[in-house]
Structure 1
Amino acid sequence: MKIILTGATGVLGSHIMYEILELFITTKIDGKLFIIARNKGKKSALDRINELLSSSYTPKIIKDKEIVKLHEYIEIIDTDLTEIQDTFSSQIKGAYFIHSAGFVNLSTDEEQREKIFDENTKITKSIFNLFHPFIKKFIYIGTAFSSGNRNGLIDNNFHSLGFKPEHRNAYENAKFHSENFIAQECKKIGLPFQILRPSVIGGKMLGNENQYFISKYMVFYLLAKFFHFTSQRKGDQENVRFIVNEDTVLNIIPVDYVAKVIVNTFEREDIEQLNIVHHKSFNMVNGLQLIMKEVGYTNFTLIQNSLDFKYKNTIEKLYYESIGKHLNPYFTTAANEYDTTLLNSILEIPKLDQEAFTNMIRYARLNNFKDINV
């Protein structure tokens, strides 16, 4: 079995790499994992992958294998995705291609729109056009939020909606555009494909190893990070108002669960689209209260959407002119849930209740919200 993986140094991609290697090790599959990665500063692609294979957070089953033996399964294609060229078509012929690399950026700033599109859609199109003649199947890792601002029950099919989704930012739009491109092009040439869409990714929850670990703190973690450090400032806490609808929810799913589902699904011929999401989304009001309690910021107020919203103090201004303006569309979005019948039949969805959510935030706080940059 041959598998090509992009994004192996990323939050989700690294866990997909671990799951693929575990699959090769435990099933004794004659497998080869081609990892497309680039150097970063003084670190070569090989250095970066080796760090992921030998760190304190590497799964035990991977770490117990010597690096030399792990590299019997791995071949690194050291190149930037924007500069990739075909010099290895004979090696990858018949491979499954898992495209996990992406540029997660929830910015609503217009000047960021083109960059977000290029880093997601333009690169995806280039990769597909280069690789499709040689591969067995193209698996695109999208986002459940490419469904846009929708209420009610959302199923797995985003390609025959009968309406144009109302996206909250350029990232959602770029991911939606990318997956539609993949679906249309694959159907034209008869190439099997999958669109697998995780929701907001949280820390690990399967097993007992490194519970709640995540390598980079994004989305709801960013809010927690902002108020964690703000709570440590000298002086009284200034009141911050959050504009949030009472019924708005945020769907969160553990990173290791997403990776395991992807590796359990990519060979299946009966699945073209799948949302990898929790069966019950987290109420945003409850989530905000849990976050603020855990990080020790007590002076806040929840208000309904205000058309005439003017900052009342420095902290409120700092928040809304940084991460707040990008997160705010998710605080006032329509309430929805996802149909997880198919997903739960693949792998039982772990319970993510208030205690587990608090533990995710606590893990981040205890680790000072420090990202791991490989």
Structure 2
Amino acid sequence: MTNTNVLLTGVTGILGRHVLYELLYLYASGRKMGALGVVIRTRSGQTGLERLKTIIAHRYRPAYLKGYAVNDLLKHITLIEAGIEELNAAHLATLENFDNLHVIHTAAETDLSNTSTANEKAFTHNYLATKHLLAWCTPKLYKFIFISSAFSIGHQEGVITDQYIQFDAAGDPVLNEEIKNRNPYERFKIKMEFELIKYCRQHGKAWQIVRPSSICGRMLDEPLYYTPTFNVFYLFGKFLYACSLSNILRMGEKIRIAANPAGSMNIVPVDYVAKAIVRSFENDAIGQLNAVSSRHVPVAYLFQSMCNYAGIKCDLTACEPPPGSMSVLEKQYYETIGPMFSSYLSTPVHQFDTVRLRGIMSDVVEADVVKGFKDLYEFAYENEFRSL
């Protein structure tokens, strides 16, 4: 068995910690040999080691890790206590046993709004930090696995393949100028994809891009439905919950939401994405891969389900209702999260091609997000949409 040496970023985040769980199980069970490194900064009075221990000992860690003691799992990890933008030569020297390094870069700021603040966060934390990480690890790098977003394709209709980045006759990447991104998060994701391929080609390094869609809680591994943070579509439920506490929401009322009534959203369980990453990152035949669900969730079902849980009704409209006709609840929605949601809910009808994904996940039963959505959402609601 050859050694698999991995450096993982973003382990305190939604996806990163689940990739960590998957890798830890493989190393602890002897299914993989090699070294596993993680990058964690000190934050909120906790050292990187304390934060790492909290993740590994978490009450919602997957059941497949229950048979392993925390200290035994920690033995498989080399910890670099730093922010990605702080990584330097001294940090790289700690990876002396990490030859032919595979870097799995999951760390990112996820802000889907279209504001100057969101632009600054995406530029600094997603784009510049990734470029710094890439240059820093180059001396030891074999392959850089960049976790992008299935939504970096922007407004797109029809069948969406894995090949967001095309190549010219010379094999150089070509960025499609017709991509219409909805926000800075998407724009810097696709820009980094393009620059990653160019950089790796110039330096003789392997690369891979994996693009999850909207991530929800676990639906494969017990305990089910867990996610450390409730964001993206969960934010609408969080909004309704907050409005119910402040008496903005009145039982039985109706909220009009600007959306494509025939539209849908691709929602994928976090454990499914983590398994797809771990199964694909050593496969050099896979350059670009959309880690998504085969079936979309209809927007009408999604929002009606969340509204029903809050005791109100939902009406999908072609455009935002006139300001003078808005209820207090509708005004609050369009002044806060509405602008972000509208750009996604108006997306043309589309479908992801999942042939390659299902090829590597053929023995994994794909969760039915529509069927399980009520249980998924109930878990979030009962936990008051708090970070767990």
Rounded Cα–Cα distance in structure 1 between residues aligned with 2:73 and 2:228: 21
Describe the superposition over 1:62-82 as per-residue Cα deviations: whole angstroms up to 9, x where unpaired.
Answer: 242222211221010000112
Is 1:231 paired with 2:247?
no
Alpha carbons 1:305, 1:332 under 8 Å: kept:
no
Following superposition of structure 1 onto structure 2, how do residues 68-79 of structure 1 map, counting pairs within 5 Å? 68-79=71-82
Following superposition of structure 1 onto structure 2, how do residues 214-363 of structure 1 map, counting pairs within 5 Å? 214-234=227-247, 236-237=250-251, 239-294=254-309, 296-306=310-320, 310=324, 312-348=326-362, 350-363=366-379
1:302 shift after superposition: 2.0
Rounded Cα–Cα distance in structure 2 between residues aligned with 1:276 and 1:300: 30
Rounded Cα–Cα distance in structure 2 between residues aligned with 1:92 and 1:103: 27
Following superposition of structure 1 onto structure 2, how do residues 31-46 of structure 1 map, counting pairs within 5 Å? 31-46=34-49
Rounded Cα–Cα distance in structure 1 between residues aligned with 2:66 and 2:85: 31
Q: 1:227 to 1:192 in 2, by over 3 A?
A: same
Of the candidates 187, 208, 213, which is equivalent to residue 201 of structure 2? Answer: 187
Give the equivalent residue in structure 1 for 2:152: 146
Secondary structure of the residue aligned to 1:136 is strand
Alpha carbons 1:148, 1:172 under 8 Å: kept:
yes
Dislocated runs of 4+, deviation >6 Å: none
Describe the superposition over 1:36-64 as per-residue Cα deviations: whole angstroms up to 9, x where unpaired.
Answer: 00111211000011011112111233242
Describe the superposition over 1:186-238 as per-residue Cα deviations: whole angstroms up to 9, x where unpaired.
Answer: 1122211100010000110114x111111100011010111133235547345
Secondary structure of the residue aligned to 1:179 is helix
Describe the superposition over 1:305-334 as per-residue Cα deviations: whole angstroms up to 9, x where unpaired.
Answer: 258555623221111111111111011111
Alpha carbons 1:6, 1:100 under 8 Å: kept:
yes
Structure 2 residue ranges without an equivalent (≥5): 167-174
Secondary structure of the residue aligned to 1:164 is coil
Is 1:212 paired with 2:225?
yes
- TM-score by length of structure 1 reads 0.94
Secondary structure of the residue aligned to 1:46 is helix
Give the equivalent residue in structure 2 for 1:131: 137
326-335 or 10-19: bigger deviation? 326-335
Of the candidates 51, 54, 57, which is equivalent to residue 51 of structure 1? Answer: 54
Alpha carbons 2:259, 2:317 under 8 Å: kept:
yes
Secondary structure of the residue aligned to 1:27 is coil
Is 1:364 paired with 2:377?
no
Rounded Cα–Cα distance in structure 1 between residues aligned with 2:202 and 2:377: 45
Rounded Cα–Cα distance in structure 1 between residues aligned with 2:223 and 2:183: 33
Give the equivalent residue in structure 2 for 1:175: 189
Give the equivalent residue in structure 1 for 2:172: none
CA RMSD of aligned residues (A): 1.8
- TM-score by length of structure 2 reads 0.91
Structure 1 residue ranges without an equivalent (≥5): none
Rounded Cα–Cα distance in structure 2 between residues aligned with 1:287 and 1:91: 48
1:28 shift after superposition: 4.5
Of the candidates 114, 127, 139, which is equivalent to residue 120 of structure 2? Answer: 114
Rounded Cα–Cα distance in structure 2 between residues aligned with 1:350 and 1:342: 14
Give the equivalent residue in structure 1 for 2:86: 83
Letter in 1 for 2:75: E
Rounded Cα–Cα distance in structure 1 between residues aligned with 2:320 and 2:17: 41
Give the equivalent residue in structure 2 for 1:165: 179
Alpha carbons 1:4, 1:34 under 8 Å: kept:
yes
